[in-house]
Amino acid sequence: KAGVTQTPRYLIKTRGQQVTLSCSPISGHRSVSWYQQTPGQGLQFLFEYFSETQRNKGNFPGRFSGRQFSNSRSEMNVSTLELGDSALYLCASSPSTVNTEAFFGQGTRLTVV
Amino acid sequence: LAKTTQPISMDSYEGQEVNITCSHNNIATNDYITWYQQFPSQGPRFIIQGYKTKVTNEVASLFIPADRKSSTLSLPRVSLSDTAVYYCLVGGMSRDYGGSQGNLIFGKGTKLSVKP
């Protein structure tokens, strides 16, 4: 069974640009969550999607957005990039049942210069 | 969502048992306790989850006292490859959303260093 796949693995963008990251969850998983990880702030929750609907949202500005498609694949978009957006962005997927574990991808390393 | 407190770092030697304790004084009735392991530049990996008493799987045990205000992750006979950051998470699953995974609140984690 394939794991969570995130693309691209590495990305370098210029301040002010926008970026789109992709996440393919484990087959059959309907919940996809996104996290930002930085050395200073640690792992922070961005948002969660379930059956194409955003269910939860973390405390991030509106420049961070996401969506989920009917096949459960998800994308997150960051507009008007800032230097502080440099981070490892992680995607996690979960089955639809309660009390289940989250499976994380290897992340996308975004560097804003 | 309940806040968790765990030691910033721990050192151990190969073959020893390691116990990492997490405090979560404000845990709610429907909150579960979950532990994740993370290696550098990789996503966290689920280790174990429990609600009360003791849970054991092939890699770890989780001890939860009756008041559930703390929990202890026990790693038997650690090896060098267990050197990683361990996160304790407390949160409820969104039962009202038909079982979707709620957001996970990660604390700073415990950096475990296993020495030969």
Q: In what order do the strands lie in the sheet with B84-92?
A: B9-13, B110-115, B84-92, B31-38, B45-50
Q: Report the amino acid identity of residue B87.
A: Y
**Residue at token pair 């404000």:** B26
Distance from C-alpha of B90 to C-alpha of B80, rounded to nearest angstrom: 27
* Torsion region of A85: left, alpha or beta (phi above 0 gives left; psi -120 to 50 gives alpha): alpha
Query: Which residue in B has a C-alpha nearest to residue A4's C-alpha?
Result: B43
Q: Which residues on A lie below 8 Å from B101 (Cβ)?
A: 31, 33, 48, 50, 92, 94, 100, 102
User: How confident is the model at residue B38, as a pLDDT?
Assistant: 95
What's the average model confidence in pLDDT over B45-68? 94
Q: How many CB atoms lie within 10 A of CB B27?
A: 23
Q: Which residue has the higher pLDDT, B79 or B91?
A: B79
pLDDT band at B1 (very low <50, low <70, confident <90, very high): low
User: How confident is the model at residue A1, as a pLDDT?
Assistant: 66
Instruction: Using the predicted structure, report yes or no on whether residue A3 has a pLDDT greater than 50.
Output: yes
What's the average model confidence in pLDDT over B4-12? 95
Mutate to test the interface with A, among B88, B103, B108 (most CBs of A within 10 A): B103
Distance from C-alpha of A50 to C-alpha of B100, rounded to nearest angstrom: 7
Inter-residue contact B33 to B49 (CB < 8 Å): yes
CB contact under 8 A, A102 and B99: no
Query: Which residue in B has a C-alpha nearest to residue A107's C-alpha?
Result: B43
Dihedral sign from CA coordinates of A4, A24, A49, A47: positive
Q: Which residue has the higher pLDDT, B3 or A31?
A: A31
Print burial letters for A65-94: b (CB count within 10 Å at least 16), e (below 16): bbbbeeebbbbbebeebeeebbbbbbbbbb
User: How confident is the model at residue A96, as a pLDDT?
Assistant: 61
CB contact under 8 A, B104 and A35: yes
The average confidence (pLDDT) of chain A is 91
Please state the φ and ψ torsions of residue B110, each to the nearest 5 degrees.
-115, 120
pLDDT per position as a tens digit, B19-54: 999 999 988 888 888 899 999 888 999 999 999 999
User: How confident is the model at residue A94, as a pLDDT?
Assistant: 86
Q: Which residue has the higher pLDDT, B93 or B60?
A: B60
pLDDT band at B2 (very low <50, low <70, confident <90, very high): low
Please state the φ and ψ torsions of residue B112, each to the nearest 5 degrees.
-95, 125
CB contact under 8 A, B99 and A88: no
User: Angle at Cα A38 formed by Cα B97 and Cα B99, nearest 5°?
Assistant: 10
What's the average model confidence in pLDDT over B50-59? 93
Q: Which residues on B lie below 8 Å from A96 (Cβ)?
A: 98-100
Q: What is the DSSP letter of B101?
A: P
User: How confident is the model at residue B92, as a pLDDT?
Assistant: 60
User: How confident is the model at residue B16, as a pLDDT?
Assistant: 97
What's the average model confidence in pLDDT over A29-55? 89
